[in-house]
Structure 1
């Protein structure tokens, strides 16, 4: 008797990503405008640079560009985080990186759930930046106790979602119909609910402690607060947002405009003011809550430890000058000037060891198989035209940028000062697993490509 096959985790992730995008388009109408805007900008960029489409196709990024999204959620308890890890595991999404946002005045720490293999990223690189509230950073003991009590009463997952997760863990997969049911059940966790779980007085008390606390603790679940498409030119996208009447934030977060983009640049439109019904309130009396917004990102190359150190040094110098941070009309100019110290030619970046690259044989390299070239230095193979180097795309996030996006949508007066409070060990204990080191993942991808090139040049049978 034939047993129907399990669908792949990549397929489940793709179905979920599409379901989320469809849901968010209904909930946040401007999201549809954002998708159209990004599609128009990307088409114009490729039309103006005919070679780019070929490069994207060769790297496997063209087919993923239109479906690429990242979302963000904020969780309240360790148990919520641990179960979220299990649910994302069904979609082939693993926790990568640790981000301490407390140093920027946001009382959370975070990880990004995403696929990690090259093949899975090419299929669908859906990511969810996932934050956990840090109650120990709330000074007021009474407020802490109140938040704990509120969060202890809620369950953000449907029982069927958890049941299907347990089934996946026990059997190693889901059938297609079960995967569709799983997607529908998990989507309920991320849906916006306009009914608060607390009264108006409680909401305002927690809101006064920190707007993000109210967002996490006062609702039925972690409504997804943005779903971000990827653009090939974020400066053009920013200008187009303003042209189309979408209120973009003042500053693009991340590095400046460059010929060779690095890491991640992000912008967003301001958070929506949404109607909320509070517990015990008259049906005609509604309040408002602002949390969800629209974001666009542009991804560049992944930097090595050396490259990140230089990036962090240059960025810190700009942000710390006169304690100006990213404020002030001259920030973009100060940033661009500072980053003149970061090479902006691909080969200079590669030779300096500032970014990760994937290596592949050229036609000349294929013709040289078995000629002894496998023993040559990598730089010699690249210079001789036997091997081509392609930058590896940065798949992760930047804590300063994440905090900047958070703050721009929490209100200008929201900045609070927390001491350096990194608590990675506590976060991993709540998660129930260690987070992957993103630098190690990029290093592994680069090393695997180098070994594959040398194996091919040797004429090994498995690479013939």
Structure 2
């Protein structure tokens, strides 16, 4: 009987290999890992009770250009026990993509290895110039981001129920190649410039051989301390932490990052230019909120964003009405709990994700695209399945209310 490598093992090996590759490609990411390790080592209290997964925890992000590419990624991540959870519309800040996150969908799977991949699909219909839109579509249709060998191994895993050790090694090697950085563009400098003028992210998706990883994110127990350390080391950090304010009982997700690097790219021959896409991010995770808790969170955040003046002060003021006590959060049914402890939030926040994207794409992100609105049905059709409802997943793993 064939002995297959478990999806959890494949995921752990892939996450480690991805981290090593990105550290070699973007040395500043290695400095982020050092900062997070130091902050986590000196952070105590309830936040430290997160089990053995903390040091290995990462999420990455990629951007694909077509429905075929999105579906290939769904099949690839499925071999590693990662399924699409939730739908994110990032047109809310004129970023022309919509997204999902591939991750394990059980508490046991997350505990075994909590690697996640935030995957965005370019919305070509948001390119206003029809000629450029058609040209971008043609460029994307002509590329193949997954090798023939990788697609064969994916199909083999689907047909047989897994991969034997030799095939698993090949699967991981071929899979890693999908996300490598390419410093030579597939388009000429003029086309790149036109795509860039339409939107930086469009140029990033269309111009290269594949969906290079654009950031990896370790998890910290104290993001404020990590942010302060980045600034102390003269790392070009974003101006503010995305998400809720600092709390005694963290909720949902807080994120910060260093700003995207400008990297030299060849457009053929001696024609070189600069491309800005890859950055490093840090996250702090808190309690997963119930629909009631999420509604209150959204109200608090909306009030803070609508306020004039100091945003940080407005954020603290608006969130003062969200209980910062575990007993109160449990009694008011604002968060999910299991065995007396809050269930960790394993997903993402569209406004925070958009804020990170915006800070790393530059101020010109709002260049006429506007808020296009949700296209969830089209996204799920491209994906080939419905995304999982995160609230249903948290509810299934939590104590009965």
Could you list the runs of 4 or more consecutive aligned residues of structure 1 that deviate by over 4 angstroms after TM superposition?
none
Tell me which residue corresponds to 1:104: 93
Tell me which residue corresponds to 2:105: 116
Tell me which residue corresponds to 1:188: 177
1:316 aligned onto 2:318: no
Shift of 1:158: 1.0
Shift of 1:270: 0.7
- Secondary structure class of the residue paired with 2:84: strand
- Secondary structure class of the residue paired with 1:413: helix
Q: Tell me which of 263, 268, 283 is aligned to 1:297.
A: 283
Q: Counterparts of 2:76 and 2:364 in 1: how far apart (Å)?
A: 36
- Secondary structure class of the residue paired with 1:25: helix
Shift of 1:247: 1.1
Q: Counterparts of 1:196 and 1:335 in 2: how far apart (Å)?
A: 42
- Secondary structure class of the residue paired with 1:227: strand
Q: Tell me which of 300, 304, 312 is aligned to 1:332.
A: 312
Tell me which residue corresponds to 1:422: 374
Asked if structure 2 preserves the Cα contact closer than 8 Å seen for 1:138 and 1:144, the reply is yes
Shift of 1:52: 5.0
Q: Counterparts of 1:344 and 1:314 in 2: how far apart (Å)?
A: 13
Tell me which residue corresponds to 1:37: 35
Q: Counterparts of 2:293 and 2:123 in 1: how far apart (Å)?
A: 31
Tell me which residue corresponds to 2:389: 437
Q: Counterparts of 1:193 and 1:128 in 2: how far apart (Å)?
A: 20
1:25 aligned onto 2:38: no
Shift of 1:144: 0.7
Tell me which residue corresponds to 1:148: 137
Shift of 1:413: 2.7
Q: Counterparts of 2:186 and 2:33 in 1: how far apart (Å)?
A: 32
Shift of 1:420: 4.6
Q: Counterparts of 1:256 and 1:278 in 2: how far apart (Å)?
A: 43
Tell me which residue corresponds to 1:266: 255
Asked if structure 2 preserves the Cα contact closer than 8 Å seen for 1:357 and 1:391, the reply is yes
TM-score (norm 2): 0.98
Shift of 1:4: 4.4
Asked if structure 2 preserves the Cα contact closer than 8 Å seen for 1:232 and 1:298, the reply is yes
Structure-to-structure mapping, 1:34-433, within 5 angstroms: 34-46=32-44, 49=45, 53=48, 56=49, 61-279=50-268, 282-283=269-270, 285-322=271-308, 330-359=310-339, 389-416=340-367, 418-433=370-385
- Secondary structure class of the residue paired with 1:409: helix
1:10 aligned onto 2:33: no
Shift of 1:419: 3.1
Asked if structure 2 preserves the Cα contact closer than 8 Å seen for 1:96 and 1:112, the reply is yes
Q: Counterparts of 1:150 and 1:66 in 2: how far apart (Å)?
A: 40
Q: Counterparts of 2:282 and 2:4 in 1: how far apart (Å)?
A: 34
- Secondary structure class of the residue paired with 2:333: coil
Q: Counterparts of 1:44 and 1:419 in 2: how far apart (Å)?
A: 43
Asked if structure 2 preserves the Cα contact closer than 8 Å seen for 1:191 and 1:224, the reply is yes
- Secondary structure class of the residue paired with 1:66: helix
**Structure 1 pair 138–52 and aligned structure 2 pair: CA distance change class (3 A):** closer
Shift of 1:7: 1.1
Asked if structure 1 preserves the Cα contact closer than 8 Å seen for 2:93 and 2:371, the reply is no
Q: Deviations over 1:361-387 (max 9, x none)?
A: xxxxxxxxxxxxxxxxxxxxxxxxxxx
Q: Counterparts of 1:6 and 1:129 in 2: how far apart (Å)?
A: 27
Asked if structure 1 preserves the Cα contact closer than 8 Å seen for 2:93 and 2:365, the reply is no
Name which of structure 1's ranges 309-318 and 208-217 shifts more when overlaid on structure 2.
309-318
Unaligned runs of 5+ in 1: 323-327, 360-388, 452-464
Shift of 1:450: 4.2
Asked if structure 1 preserves the Cα contact closer than 8 Å seen for 2:258 and 2:279, the reply is yes
Shift of 1:333: 1.2
Aligned residue pair count: 400
TM-score (norm 1): 0.84
Shift of 1:94: 0.1
Shift of 1:178: 1.4
Asked if structure 2 preserves the Cα contact closer than 8 Å seen for 1:407 and 1:415, the reply is no
Indicate the structure whose relative CO is greater, using CA pairs within 8 Å and at least 6 residues apart.
2
- Secondary structure class of the residue paired with 1:155: coil
